[in-house]
Amino acid sequence: MTEIALVAEVLREFIRFYLVLLTIRILLGWFPNVNWEGQPFAALSQITDPYLNIFRSIIPPFGGIDFSPILGFFLLQFLGSYIGRLAFTYQAYLY
């Protein structure tokens, strides 16, 4: 495995893990009794909110529902699949 393929695989795995964290963050947001000041919720919020805030500034809540994470999910999924295809193409080109 080449270095570029290894880096691409690590990036794809990181994106998958981050998508899991985003899913947990969004699901926990549906429960009003979650204490976001206490651990582990504060750490989860610090990790995911900066990314989500980018999309919250683009798409405002509509009818009290925040649709911005949808755009964030799509972007990360696209990026993960693009990185995978790029690494596969590069590796196929070498051999």
65 secondary structure, DSSP code: B
The residue count for the chain: 95
Neighbours of 89 (CB within 10 A): 10
pLDDT tens figures, 21-74: 999 998 998 888 888 888 899 999 999 999 999 998 888 888 888 888 889 999
Q: What 3-state class would DSSP assign to 1?
A: coil
The pTM of the full predicted model, rounded to 2 decimals, is: 0.82
Domain ranges of the chain: 3-94
CA gyration radius, the chain: 17
Cα–Cα distance, 55 to 71 (Å, whole number): 7
